[in-house]
Amino acid sequence: MYILSIETSCDETAVSLVRADGEFPEAAYTILGNGLFSQIDIHKEFGGVFPNVAKREHAKALVPMLEKALREADILIEIPAAITEADKEHVRKLLVREEGLADSIFDFFSKYSFSAIDRIAVTSGPGLEPALWVGVNFAQALGYLRNTPVIPVNHMKGHIFASLLKGNILEQVTFPAVALLISGGHTDLVRMNDYTSFEVIGSTRDDAVGEAFDKTARMLGLPYPGGPQIGSLAGEAREQNLPQILPPLPRPMLTSGDLDFSFSGLKTAVRTRVLDVQITNEEKKQYAREIEDAITDVLIRKVHDAIDRTGAQTLIVGGGVSANTHIRKSLERLVSEDIPYVKLHMPERNLSTDNSIMIALAAHAEPNIATSMIVAQGSLQL
Ligand code: KG4
Ligand code: ZN
C-alpha cells in the first residue's frame, strides 16, 4: 500500500510517501520520499508560532513538499495531468480559505502527474486549527483530483507509532502499555490496551512540557524554539559541573497523588527570578539545568506512578520533547533500575519532532484503512 501523508498541525509542513508491505503491525515500511519544511526561522522573529502565519506558510510550502516527496520516490511523471474546468471549480471551492493553494496545485498538475497511490493520510488534530485546515483541505483536494481515499489521523497517535519504528519495522508492543506524550501542545499519559485503544489517564492542567521549555527559554533570552536551547545549555552546565541554582525551582504537582501535570507555576517561578535581573551566561546554563531537572523529576515520578497503577509492561515515549537527551537518559535509568520488567520505546531522534512519516504509520494502524472509502469531499471534520 502506497500512502501519501501530510502533516501541518503546527510549524512543520511535511509530506511523505511511505510504502507498507504487509499488514499492520507486521508490515515493513519504506520511506520512499520525504519533504519537510520547518517554519522555525519564520516564527523565530515573533518568538513563537502565530496560527495564521503558520497557515500562510503551509499554503506556500505544501506543493513544493509534495513535489519533493514524489520526486524522491521516483513516481513524479513529467506529463501534465488532465484537469477539467469543473474539477478546478470544485477544488477552488475546497480551498477557498487557503490563499494561493488552488493555483499552486493547478500549476503543479499543468507540469506533472504521478503514479497511483492508495491512500492519502492527513493530520486532522490536535493542533493549531487554521494550520490543520490547510493540510486537511489540501488532502481533500488531492483525494478528489486523484480519486483516492483520505484518512484523517490523530497527531498524537502519530507520535506513538513514530516511537515504535526501528529500521523499517514496528517494534512489537506488549499490552497494557503506557504512552507518555510530551510536545509543544501536549503532556499526556495514555493507557493502551491494544493498538486501537487510547485512554488519557493524566494530562496537564495548564502549559504543556514543550511550552514550559519554550516560555522559560524566552525569559532567559533564548530564541524560539527554546526546548533544544535549554537542552544544550543544561548539558553544558552538567559537563562543567556548575552548582545548582538556589533555591531550587518548584517541581509542580510532584506529590499530588494523581497523574496530572501543571507547569505554569514553574514558568512563573522563573519569571519572578529573572525578571529585571541581569543574568550571566553561566547563570543561564544553571537555570537551564534546573528547569530541565524540575521538568524531568515530575515526568519520571508521574510515569512511574502510571506504570504502577496500570500494571503496564511497556512504556512508549513520544513527541518533540522526547528529543531531550537528559529526559531520554532519565527514562532509560528509570526503566533499567526501578521497573526492569517494563520495555521502553523511544523514537529515533529524527522522528521525535513533527513529521509526516508518523502520520503514514498511524494511518496504516487504522483498522479500517483497507476498506476506507473516499471521504465525501468537503466533509472531513476536524
Ligand atoms: O512534537 P513537536 O515537534 O510539535 C508539537 O506537536 O508540539 O514538539 C515541539 C516541542 C517544542 O516545544 C520544542 O521546544 C520541544 O518540542 N523540543 C524539545 C527538544 N526538541 C524539541 N524540548 C526539550 N529538549 C529538546 N531537545
Ligand atoms: Zn507533535
Spacing, Cα 256 to ligand 2 middle (Å): 27
Any ligand 1 atom below 6 A from CB of 213: yes
Q: Which residue among 13, 49, 183, 299 is best mutated to probe the pocket of ligand 1, counting the most ligand atoms within 8 A of its Cβ?
A: 183
Rounded-to-integer distance, Cα 108 and Cα 80, Å: 8
pLDDT at site 13: 98
CB atoms within 10 A of CB 194: 10
**pLDDT reported for residue 46:** 86
Ligand 1 centre and the CA of 114: distance in Å? 34
Ligand 1 lined by 231 (C-beta under 6 Å) = yes
Ligand 1 pocket, residue 324 CB under 6 Å: yes
Residue in this structure with the C-alpha cell 478546478, named with its chain if needed: 88
- Eight-state DSSP code of residue 276: T
* Closest listed residue to residue 322, CA positions, set 355, 356, 359: 355
- Cα–Cα distance for residue pair 204/208, rounded to 1 Å: 6
pLDDT of residue 381: 72
Query: How confident is the model at residue 47, as a pLDDT?
Result: 84
pLDDT for position 379: 67
Q: Which atom of ligand 1 is nearest to the CA of 214?
A: 14
Q: Is 353 in the pocket of ligand 1 (CB under 6 A)?
A: yes
User: Is any ligand 1 atom within 6 A of the Cβ of residue 312?
Assistant: no
Is the distance from the beta carbon of residue 35 to the nearest atom of ligand 1 less than 6 Å?
Answer: no
d(CA 310, CA 296): 21
Ligand 1 atom with minimal separation from the 354 CA: 3
What is the structure's pLDDT at 48?
Answer: 85
Ligand positioned closest to the Cα atom of 223: 1
What is the spatial distance between Cα 156 and Cα 208, in angstroms, rounded to a whole number?
13
Write out the chain's pLDDT in tens, 382 residues. Answer: 999 999 999 999 999 999 999 999 999 999 999 999 999 999 988 888 899 999 999 999 999 999 999 999 999 999 999 999 999 999 999 999 999 999 999 999 999 999 989 999 999 999 999 999 999 999 999 999 999 999 999 999 999 999 999 999 999 999 999 999 999 999 999 999 999 999 999 999 999 999 999 999 999 999 999 999 999 999 999 999 999 999 999 999 999 999 999 999 999 999 999 988 999 999 999 999 999 999 999 999 999 999 999 999 999 999 999 999 999 999 999 999 999 999 999 999 899 999 999 999 999 999 989 888 766 556 677 7
Answer whether 318 contacts ligand 1 (Cβ < 6 A).
Answer: no
183 lines ligand 1 (CB under 6 A): yes
Calculate how far, in angstroms, residue 30's C-alpha sits from the geometric centre of ligand 1.
Answer: 25
Measured by CA distance, the residue closest to atom 20 of ligand 1 is 228
Instruction: Judge contact between 306 and 201, C-beta under 8 A.
Output: yes
Instruction: Identify the residue whose C-alpha is closest to ligand 1 atom 3.
Output: 353
- Written as one string, the DSSP assignment of 142-166 is HHHHHT--EEEEEHHHHHHHHHHEE
Rounded distance, CA 357 to CA 382, Å?
Answer: 20
Count Cβ atoms below 10 Å from residue 197 Cβ, excluding itself. 11
The overall pTM is greater than 0.85: yes
Ligand 1 touching residue 227 (CB < 6 A): yes
Q: Find out whether the beta carbon of 347 lies less than 6 Å from any atom of ligand 1.
A: no
Nearest CA to ligand 1 atom 10: 184
Distance 49 CA to ligand 1 centre (A): 13
